[in-house]
Amino acid sequence: MIVVRTVADLRAALRERRGGSIALVPTMGALHEGHATLLRAARRTDDTVVMTIFVNPAQFNEKSDLAAYPRTEEADLALADSEGVDVVFAPDVSEVYPEGFATTVSVSGPIAETLEGAERGRAHFDGVATVVTKLLLAALPDHAYFGAKDAQQVAVIRRFVADLGIPVDLVICPTSRDADGLARSSRNTRLSPDERARALAIPHALQEVTDAVAAGTADTDALRSRALKTLGAAGIRPEYVAFVDPITFAPAAVVDEPVLVAIAARVGSTRLIDNTVLGGA
């Protein structure tokens, strides 16, 4: 495994590997088992696996959140090596956003302006779209791997990849969960034991809604009420429990075709998100 810090060195490392397929797994570091599942999926499919480590300042709307984001590069590199990563691209901020940088990739409409876009500010998805575009152009992979937990981010990436004609196939892997059902996240380490126990109400609420749909409930207002009751019993007041089209993020009134139910909530001071698709995918 080699570690490179510049786009020039990344391209040089990949030049001789262009005869086979190349995978890109973008991360912000602080790796956990969820990231490892993406790396394994890439390793099974592609000849060369590239992983990025870059804490993107452009997608944080709270400076305190950016400052608190864990930086664990030594451990991250060890995990990457153990999972068979070939190249790690870990640039400095100045490499990604050099002096004079003045370009933003921005997706419009409900995909980027609702839910996370509303709660975290429009600049959040502008930051995501811009940095992912830069990473895709730097590596020019055949496949790029992302987790389904960040469903709205995935929808934004799908949109600009299609709109800009970026030649990459997106591979979306199922949400990785701990044995108790909590979606894996670098933020989970911030939860106290009591908060972690309360946080389980989030996947429980998603399961409650899934079971209700299987039993014949299709009205999303009724389904939202069920989810809110489960969350409320754990003392969680969510920022949103939304039912939307998984591609356009337009609101859905009934589950008569695939519908994404997405939850965002703070447990203590830790903000968590989770989702599932109802009615098939």
Catalytic residue set: 35
Question: Is 184 annotated as ligand-binding?
Answer: yes
Tokens at residue 98, please?
């050099």
Q: Is 143 annotated as a binding residue?
A: no
CA dihedral 109, 112, 117, 122 (to 10 degrees): -80
Is 257 annotated as belonging to a binding site? Answer: no
Q: 153: annotated binding-site residue?
A: yes
Helix, strand, or coil (residue 31): coil
State yes or no: 30 annotated in a binding site. Answer: yes
State yes or no: 187 annotated in a binding site.
Answer: yes
User: Is 34 annotated among the ligand-binding residues?
Assistant: yes
Residue 148 marked in a binding site: yes
Residue 59, annotated ligand binder? yes
Question: Cα separations (Å) of 125 from 5, 107, 113, 132, 152?
Answer: 24, 8, 8, 10, 9
Asked if residue 216 belongs to a known ligand binding site, the reply is: no
DSSP H or E stretch at residue 38:
helix 33-45
**Backbone φ and ψ of 9, nearest 5°:** -70, -35
Looking at residue 197, the DSSP 8-state letter turns out to be H
Residue 31 marked in a binding site = yes
> H-helix or E-strand containing 275?
strand 270-278
Is 29 marked as a binding-site residue? Answer: yes
- Strand pairing of 87-89 and 2-4? parallel
Q: CA dist 138 to 6, 15, 160, 163, 181, Å?
A: 9, 12, 16, 18, 36
Annotated binding site for beta-alanine: 59
Annotated binding site for ATP: 28-35, 147-150, 184-187
Annotated binding site for (R)-pantoate: 59, 153
Annotated binding site: 28-35, 59, 147-150, 153, 184-187
